[in-house]
Amino acid sequence: MLRMVTASLLVGAMAWSSSAWAASTAPAEVLTAGTQKILADANGRSLYTFDKDQPGKSECTLLCAVAWPPLIAPKDASASGHWSLVRRWDGDMQWAYKGSPLYTYRHDRNPGDVTGDGAEGVWHVAKP
Protein backbone atom coordinates (compact mmCIF):
# COMPACT_ATOMS: atom_id res chain seq x y z
CA MET A 1 0.00 0.00 0.00
CA LEU A 2 1.33 3.43 -0.90
CA ARG A 3 1.73 5.99 1.86
CA MET A 4 1.66 9.73 1.44
CA VAL A 5 5.15 11.18 1.12
CA THR A 6 6.46 14.69 1.29
CA ALA A 7 7.28 16.50 -1.93
CA SER A 8 11.01 16.33 -1.19
CA LEU A 9 10.91 12.55 -0.80
CA LEU A 10 8.97 12.20 -4.03
CA VAL A 11 11.47 14.38 -5.90
CA GLY A 12 14.35 12.34 -4.48
CA ALA A 13 12.69 9.08 -5.46
CA MET A 14 12.03 10.32 -8.97
CA ALA A 15 15.64 11.48 -9.36
CA TRP A 16 16.85 8.02 -8.31
CA SER A 17 14.42 6.18 -10.52
CA SER A 18 15.15 8.34 -13.57
CA SER A 19 18.83 7.40 -13.44
CA ALA A 20 17.92 3.73 -13.00
CA TRP A 21 15.53 3.88 -15.96
CA ALA A 22 18.18 5.31 -18.24
CA ALA A 23 20.29 2.19 -17.71
CA SER A 24 17.54 -0.09 -19.05
CA THR A 25 18.09 -1.64 -22.44
CA ALA A 26 15.98 -3.58 -24.88
CA PRO A 27 14.75 -6.99 -23.75
CA ALA A 28 17.31 -9.50 -24.82
CA GLU A 29 16.39 -12.95 -23.64
CA VAL A 30 13.84 -15.51 -22.61
CA LEU A 31 14.45 -17.13 -19.23
CA THR A 32 12.99 -20.28 -17.75
CA ALA A 33 11.54 -19.64 -14.30
CA GLY A 34 10.28 -22.90 -12.87
CA THR A 35 8.24 -24.42 -15.69
CA GLN A 36 7.48 -21.21 -17.57
CA LYS A 37 9.37 -19.11 -20.11
CA ILE A 38 9.43 -15.39 -19.35
CA LEU A 39 10.83 -12.24 -20.92
CA ALA A 40 13.86 -10.62 -19.32
CA ASP A 41 15.95 -7.52 -19.92
CA ALA A 42 19.58 -7.63 -21.04
CA ASN A 43 20.65 -8.09 -17.39
CA GLY A 44 18.38 -11.09 -16.85
CA ARG A 45 15.83 -9.17 -14.77
CA SER A 46 12.30 -10.48 -15.22
CA LEU A 47 9.87 -8.26 -17.09
CA TYR A 48 6.27 -7.63 -16.06
CA THR A 49 3.01 -6.33 -17.48
CA PHE A 50 0.39 -4.26 -15.62
CA ASP A 51 -3.34 -5.03 -16.05
CA LYS A 52 -4.29 -1.36 -15.70
CA ASP A 53 -2.27 -0.37 -18.80
CA GLN A 54 -4.11 0.23 -22.05
CA PRO A 55 -2.61 -1.13 -25.29
CA GLY A 56 0.21 1.25 -26.19
CA LYS A 57 -0.17 3.36 -23.01
CA SER A 58 1.46 3.08 -19.57
CA GLU A 59 -0.67 3.86 -16.53
CA CYS A 60 2.21 3.25 -14.08
CA THR A 61 3.66 6.67 -13.23
CA LEU A 62 5.26 8.49 -10.28
CA LEU A 63 5.32 6.27 -7.17
CA CYS A 64 4.14 3.24 -9.11
CA ALA A 65 7.17 3.62 -11.40
CA VAL A 66 9.53 3.71 -8.41
CA ALA A 67 8.47 0.18 -7.41
CA TRP A 68 7.96 -0.95 -11.02
CA PRO A 69 10.61 0.81 -13.14
CA PRO A 70 9.56 0.95 -16.79
CA LEU A 71 11.88 -0.63 -19.33
CA ILE A 72 13.08 2.57 -21.00
CA ALA A 73 14.27 2.32 -24.58
CA PRO A 74 17.39 4.11 -25.79
CA LYS A 75 16.83 7.20 -27.94
CA ASP A 76 17.74 5.34 -31.15
CA ALA A 77 15.45 2.32 -30.49
CA SER A 78 12.99 1.23 -33.14
CA ALA A 79 10.03 -1.14 -33.08
CA SER A 80 10.40 -4.58 -34.63
CA GLY A 81 8.04 -7.57 -34.76
CA HIS A 82 6.18 -7.92 -31.46
CA TRP A 83 8.38 -5.22 -29.88
CA SER A 84 7.04 -1.67 -29.92
CA LEU A 85 7.62 1.63 -28.15
CA VAL A 86 5.24 3.55 -25.91
CA ARG A 87 5.65 7.24 -25.11
CA ARG A 88 5.48 7.80 -21.35
CA TRP A 89 3.98 10.82 -19.59
CA ASP A 90 7.48 12.30 -19.15
CA GLY A 91 8.42 11.90 -22.84
CA ASP A 92 10.65 8.83 -22.40
CA MET A 93 10.03 5.86 -24.66
CA GLN A 94 9.27 2.52 -23.02
CA TRP A 95 9.53 -0.95 -24.53
CA ALA A 96 6.30 -2.88 -25.03
CA TYR A 97 5.71 -6.47 -26.10
CA LYS A 98 2.57 -7.13 -28.17
CA GLY A 99 1.39 -3.65 -27.14
CA SER A 100 1.86 -4.18 -23.38
CA PRO A 101 4.36 -1.81 -21.71
CA LEU A 102 7.11 -3.65 -19.84
CA TYR A 103 8.50 -3.10 -16.34
CA THR A 104 11.03 -4.60 -13.95
CA TYR A 105 10.30 -5.00 -10.23
CA ARG A 106 12.39 -3.20 -7.66
CA HIS A 107 12.33 -6.14 -5.21
CA ASP A 108 13.66 -8.71 -7.69
CA ARG A 109 17.26 -9.02 -6.53
CA ASN A 110 18.74 -11.63 -8.88
CA PRO A 111 18.35 -12.53 -12.54
CA GLY A 112 15.30 -14.74 -12.95
CA ASP A 113 13.58 -13.62 -9.72
CA VAL A 114 9.82 -13.31 -10.19
CA THR A 115 8.75 -11.99 -6.79
CA GLY A 116 6.40 -9.48 -8.42
CA ASP A 117 4.35 -12.07 -10.30
CA GLY A 118 0.73 -11.76 -9.16
CA ALA A 119 1.40 -8.68 -7.00
CA GLU A 120 -1.82 -6.86 -6.11
CA GLY A 121 -3.55 -9.16 -8.59
CA VAL A 122 -2.53 -6.85 -11.48
CA TRP A 123 1.18 -7.52 -12.14
CA HIS A 124 2.27 -10.55 -14.19
CA VAL A 125 5.53 -11.82 -15.63
CA ALA A 126 5.71 -11.11 -19.35
CA LYS A 127 5.69 -14.26 -21.45
CA PRO A 128 6.86 -14.71 -25.03
pLDDT digits (tens, 9 = 90+) for 28-42: 668 777 778 999 998
Output the pLDDT for position 10: 30
Output the pLDDT for position 7: 29
CA dihedral 108, 109, 112, 113 (to 10 degrees): -50
pTM, whole model, 2 decimals? 0.77
